Amino acid sequence: MVLNITVCIIAISVALLAFSIEGKASKAEIVKLKEEIKVLNNNAKEQHQLRSTVYKLKDELNQLYKYKVIYKDKGLFGSRNIEEKYFFDEKSAKEFMEKPNIHEEVLIELGEEK
């Protein structure tokens, strides 16, 4: 999305530049700008593929977790939002639950279904 916005900004800049110049832009300048836009579009596609790969890997990692703790943190003005954290073993989950900043917690054992 950021790259799409960048492409739009470049396109608007080119249009403003074209109107501000009395003469026409040279063919070389137009070709150069088209190449820059093409590179930005390719970067956007690569970024999308990378995000997709990271999402898939994160999902696969989540399948390995055995326990989940749903908890509220203590803050200066009371408890915060409900959050969750995943663990590979019960010992780590219980150690996390014993921290002094955890206000309310629930330990859930994850089965085959998530």
Type of residue numbered 93:
A
**pLDDT, tens digit, 9 for 90 and up, residues 82-92:** 888 888 888 99
Position with higher pLDDT, 113 vs 71: 71
Residue pLDDT, tens place only, 59-72: 888 788 888 898 88
What whole-number percentage of the chain has pLDDT above 90? 4
Q: Write 6-12 long-range contacts (CB < 8 A, 24+).
A: 6/40, 7/37, 7/40, 7/41, 7/44, 10/36, 10/37, 10/40, 11/37
Nearest to 70 by CA among 86, 54, 51: 86
| pLDDT band at residue 112 under the 50/70/90 scheme | low
